[in-house]
A = this chain, B = another copy of it.
Amino acid sequence: MDKANKVKLGLIGLGTVGTGVVKVLKDFDNIEIVKIAVKNINKKRDIENLDTSLLTTDPFEIVNNPDIDIVVEVIGGIDPAYELLKTAVQNKKHVVTANKELLAKKGRELFELANKNNTVILYEAAIAGGIPIIMPIKTTLAGNKINKIEAILNGTTNYILTKMEKEGVSYEEVLKEAQKLGYAETDPTGDVEGYDSAYKIATLATIALNRRVDINKIYREGITKISAKDMRFAKELGYKIKLIALARLTEDNKADVRVHPMLVPLKDCLAGINGVTNSVVLEGFPVGRVMFAGPGAGEFPTASSVLGDILAIALSLGSSNMLPFMKCNHQLDAQQIDIKDTINKYYISVTAANTPGVIGTIGEICGRHNISLASVLQKGIDKENTAEIVVITEECKENDINTAINEFNENKNIIKINNIIRVM
């Protein structure tokens, strides 16, 4: 192909994903990388025959380069990515990004700016890595009213929970091992406290529920309090514990969006998602329930999604009407409900005095707060003459659970609330 007719691409970031993008683009004659912004120009790269004259330490050279058609941003974070992408869009460049944090925090501003400048921002790689999910929602499922998303969007936490379940070991032990293997970062907060999942569900819910979800109003709870005992009890009751990103429309079209651990029934397809795999389940009309699963991260799977977005833009370049479905235009703000106002089933694990009638006491407190029990498990009494009691409730209000838990805390026979986990 004539060099002048090639699509010109500028790449910001040459870490794991950026490296993957360079490698896979080698097979595409119609796309030329004209500049790559890196932190350290002298770092050894795992790329054969990398033309080092393409490298620059100034990413603004890319977003201000008049030759460049598409800017691919794979550095992550807000600063300087936000300024860079704003400049790129103002310079009429199309953008492909894998930056979930930026989309969650600055998506509205960026998409509005892109619409104004008649450019598009595509972000398939930002959510669930290699799994095609954004494009299917915008195309095949475009006629659906999607009213529910249940998803596993973070590979690190799913790896940890899977290991805990299979080997019966503690969170701390598995985390250490995951850090050694490179599956968890030295500071794992972003993953294990659910921030990463929250960023992703913010954007996924915005596109699927067709209204802008505010990241600051998403309830978020991580996996650090899940114990090996919780895993065992859950198994015994027919569940696995997963970090679930959830979004649903209530009957009055409010948005219930949150990230927290959940007991997932073994027969649910999400219970079968193990290790670093991600999965998204969508429910809507007319489609019903569809599921997507695959690698949620990694050099090549993520590059696959970046590549898909690049090719979609490349195909549309030169067309006077950029396909409308590539745009993201959510003028409607989601009315997000508070976690207090949600309705769930709950797993409650307590340590209680081994006195007759303690299960009765628990049942009585719950009953007074409109909470019915679906199952009760009482476990071996230890030397201190206490019992472990686990109950799973029927659906009830989060507010009622909070009040009941307060009464548990005041009851002399209930020694300790070990954990409260919502149930799918």
Indicate which residue in B139, B140, B141, B295 contacts A289 across the interface (CB closer than 8 Å): B295
The answer to whether A293 touches B294, judged by C-beta atoms less than 8 angstroms apart, is no
Name the one of B272, B311, B319 contacting A272, with C-beta atoms under 8 angstroms: B272
A300 within 8 A of B: yes
- How many identical subunits does the complex contain? 2
Q: How many residues of A contact B (CB 8 A)?
A: 51
Asked if A47 is at the interface (CB within 8 A of a chain B CB), the reply is: no
Contacts of A139 in B (CB 8 A): 132, 135, 139, 308, 311-312
Q: Which of A58-66, A237-245, A280-288, A330-338 contacts B (4 or more CB under 8 A)?
A: A280-288
A50 at the interface (CB under 8 A from B): no
Complex: how many Å from CA A142 to CA B310?
10
In the complex, what's the smallest C-beta–C-beta distance from A145 to chain B, in angstroms? Answer: 8
Q: Which residues from B are CB-within-8-Å of A305? A: 140, 287
Asked if B287 and A290 sit within 8 Å, CB to CB, the answer is: no
User: Shortest CB–CB separation between residue A127 and chain B, in angstroms?
Assistant: 11
Cβ-based interface call for A380 (8 A)? no
Residues A143 and B28 in contact in the complex (CB < 8 Å), given A300-B285, A300-B286, A315-B323: yes
Which residues in B have their C-beta under 8 angstroms from that of A135? 135-136, 139-140
A194 interface contact, C-beta 8 A: no
A287 touches B300 (CB 8 A): yes
Against B, the Cβ 8 Å flags (1 = close, 0 = not) of A340-381 are 000000000000000000000000000000000000000000
Chain B residues contacting A315 (CB-CB under 8 Å) are 323-325
Are A143 and B311 also in contact (CB < 8 A) when A294-B291, A319-B319, A323-B323 are?
Answer: yes
Q: Do B290 and A292 touch (CB < 8 A)?
A: yes
Q: A316 within 8 Å of B by Cβ? A: yes
Considering only CB atoms, which chain B residue lies closest to A325 in the complex? B315
Is A293 a contact of B291 with CB atoms below 8 Å?
A: yes
A134 to B139 alpha-carbon distance, docked (Å):
11
Tell me, rounded to whole Å, the shortest Cβ–Cβ distance linking A298 to chain B. 7
CB atoms of B301 and A295 under 8 A apart: no
Specify which of B23, B141, B286, B319 is in contact with A132 (CB 8 Å cutoff). B141
How far in angstroms is the closest Cβ of chain B from A262?
19
Which residue from B309, B312, B325 sits with its C-beta under 8 Å from A312? B325
* Contact flags A265-286 to B (C-beta < 8 A → 1, else 0): 0000100100000000000011
Given contacts A132-B141, A143-B28, A308-B139, contact A294 B300 (CB under 8 A): no
Which one of A28, A134, A136, A272 has the highest number of Cβ atoms from chain B below 10 Å of its Cβ? Answer: A136
**Cα–Cα, bound, A413→B28 (Å):** 60
A222 at the interface (CB under 8 A from B): no
Contact indicator B132/A290 (Cβ below 8 Å): yes
Q: Judge whether A24 is part of the interface by a CB distance below 8 angstroms.
A: yes
Counting CB contacts under 8 A, is A144 at the interface?
Answer: yes
In the bound assembly, the distance between CA atoms of A269 and B321 in angstroms comes to 41
The answer, yes or no, to whether A18 is at the interface (CB within 8 Å) is no
* Chain B residue with the shortest CB-CB distance to A291: B293
With A139-B311, A142-B311, A319-B323 given, name 19 new contacts (CB 8 A): A28-B143, A131-B290, A132-B136, A132-B141, A135-B135, A135-B136, A135-B140, A140-B304, A141-B308, A142-B307, A143-B310, A269-B293, A288-B298, A288-B300, A289-B295, A291-B293, A312-B325, A318-B321, A323-B323
> Would you give 9 A-B contacts (Cβ < 8 Å), ordered by A?
A28-B143, A130-B287, A130-B288, A140-B305, A142-B311, A286-B300, A286-B304, A319-B319, A319-B321
Q: Which 6 A-B pairs have the closest CB atoms?
A: A290-B294, A132-B140, A143-B307, A286-B300, A132-B136, A287-B304
